[in-house]
Amino acid sequence: MITAIIPAAGRGLRFGSDENKTFYPLKNKPLLLWPLQTLEAFYEVEDIIVVVRFEDIDRTSKLIDKYGIKKVRKIIGGGKERQDSVFNALKSIDRNTQFVLIHDGVRPFLDTKLLKSMILQFVQNQRTIDGIITGVPVKDTIKSVERGESGSDHNGLYVKETLKRDLLWAIHTPQLFVLEKILAAYKKAMKDNFYSTDDSALLENYGGKIKLFMGSYKNIKITTIEDIKIAEALLQ
């Protein structure tokens, strides 16, 4: 059994709109609805838990009812950070669940072919890995930087080294884990006050084995209002 967690409790400070990013329309459909409808039609996922801000729970419930999303079993309130929100969801999962799929609520282009391939890879490697994540090789040259003595903003940064691009990947969601392993890693991280914006980083930090799977450059995360225009162009 696979339960999907959709974290969508971010404040969207960089988005630049009065409308909550989670509900901002992409082709007249709220962003959150895009991955939800994909998972609703995806046979292998049985349950969905949506994490939103507490003040958005009622609005989210009405949206889910309006569009007939039947697999959403719970809508829960998020925390201060993304990690807090996902932890809230993980703690609420039925223990009969073996696997958990985590996917950002503002990545609208969740692909079912990718999901099927991920699950197959996981099953084939289940004895040797604790999770499988998606990503793409970076295209730009990446440099590590450090701050000067008086640097407090981007003007105070200096190049430390140029990293080898062929070993660098941009990591996306969806990410798939053994529930028991990712929950244990989250509990340790919260106890140690170790925070990351990436779920798999918690497993890595405590010795988990993560397999990397080729994702898609189209699987963009909506961060700024300009990303909406990119998403609309991709749809066309």
- Of the options 3.10.440.10, 3.90.550.10, 3.40.50.2300, 3.40.50.300, the CATH number for the domain spanning 2-137+173-235: 3.90.550.10
Q: CB burial class (10 A; 0-12, 13-18, 19+) of residue 192?
A: exposed
pLDDT tens digits, residue range 44-70? 999 999 999 999 999 999 999 999 999
| Model confidence, pTM | 0.93
Domain ranges in the chain are: 2-137+173-235
User: Would you state the pLDDT for residue 60?
Assistant: 97
Q: What is the pLDDT of residues 163-186, one digit of tens each?
A: 999 999 999 999 999 999 999 999
Kindly tell me if the per-residue pLDDT of 123 is higher than 70.
yes
